[in-house]
Chains A and B, each alone.
Chain A
Amino acid sequence: IQMTQSPSTLSASVGDRVTITCRASQSFSNWLAWYQQKPGKAPNLLIYKASSLEGGVPSRFSGSGSGTEFTLTISSLQPDDFATYYCQQYGSYPWTFGQGTKVEIK
């Protein structure tokens, strides 16, 4: 299953509402995760099962979608949120990641 994220890069300001989309090449069960990665660090799980918030993750992050289209929304962008975000399907092997969306300061 191929995962395609859009946009590849996003310029936004603190306080903006940000939405990242992930499209799958075929429909699958909602085993879809979102990760945040900062330079030189390992990824950090934000969302699992498409819309479940991982423990300790701020509530400004939310996930939605089903079938082939999924979204990650940051309701009010904070300075710590400037990073690269990846979606990943883990419903069938081989697991696959999207190519990433870099959120930059506008």
Chain B
Amino acid sequence: EVQLLESGGGLVQPGGSLRLSCAASGFSFSYYDITWVRQAPGKGLEWVSGISAGGDIIHYADSVKGRFTISRDNSRNTNYLQTSNLRVEDTAVYYCATRNGCNSGVCYGLQYWGQGTLVTVSS
């Protein structure tokens, strides 16, 4: 069974940093790309960042570019989202998600999601 477990959220002051982790199990982690999506309280979904299976292709939303860094440790089956210079508007539940990639010309949506970790940025 595919499982993703986020951790590392919490309360942080504006300008602070947090490292979010996404621990994976039940699948061959090193073959799957990983995506982070966040959801502010009472709001919709916002794509944040994505990293390829090999870690060589990385993308960020403009809203976090230069402040967030995504990485992965395939030996530990874990993905990380390092957040810095946090703003009040970064307050959200952060989800990591993955999919069966692109096979035979078919690319899937985000099929597997963690339960999310809450980041609250407040003074």
Q: Which residues of A contact B (CB under 8 A)?
A: 31, 33-35, 37, 42-45, 47-49, 52, 54, 86, 88, 90, 93-100
Which residues of chain B come closer than 8 Å to A94, judged between CB atoms?
Answer: 47, 59-62
Indicate if the CB atoms of A97 and B107 lie closer than 8 Å.
Answer: no
Complex contacts, B37 vs chain A, CB 8 Å: 43, 97
> Chain B's interface: helix, strand, loop or mixed, by majority?
strand
Looking at A42, A47, A54, A90, the one whose CB has the most chain B CB atoms below 10 A away is A42
**Which chain A residue lies CB-closest to B114?**
A42
Instruction: Determine whether the beta carbon of A42 is less than 8 Å from that of B115.
Output: yes
Smallest CB separation, A8 vs chain B (Å): 10
Q: How far is A105 from B46 in the complex, measured between Cα atoms in Å? A: 26
Contacts of B35 in A (CB 8 A): 95
Contact residues in A for B106 (Cβ distance below 8 Å): 49, 52
B46 to nearest A CB, angstroms? 7
Given A94-B61, A94-B62, A95-B50: A54 in contact with B44 (beta carbons within 8 A):
no
For the complex, give the distance between the alpha carbons of A52 and B37 in Å: 22
Find B47's partner among A31, A52, A95 (CB 8 Å cutoff).
Answer: A95
Cβ of A43: which chain B residues have Cβ within 8 Å of it?
Answer: 37, 45, 95, 110, 113
Report how far A45 CA is from B107 CA in the complex, Å: 13
B49: nearest chain-A partner, CB-CB = A94
Please name the residue on chain B nearest to A101 by beta carbon. B44
B109-A54 in contact (CB<8A): yes
How far, in Å, is B12 (CB) from chain A's closest CB? Answer: 22
- State whether A96 touches B47 (Cβ < 8 A): yes
Interface centre among A34, A54, A86, A93 (most CB of B within 10 A): A93
Chain B residue with minimal CB distance to A42? B113
CB nearest neighbor in B for A95: B47
Q: Which B residue sits closest to A41, measured CB to CB?
A: B115
Please give the distance in Å from A35's CB to the nearest CB on chain B. 7
Which of B89-106 touch A at CB < 8 Å?
95, 97, 106
A93 touches B44 (CB 8 A): no
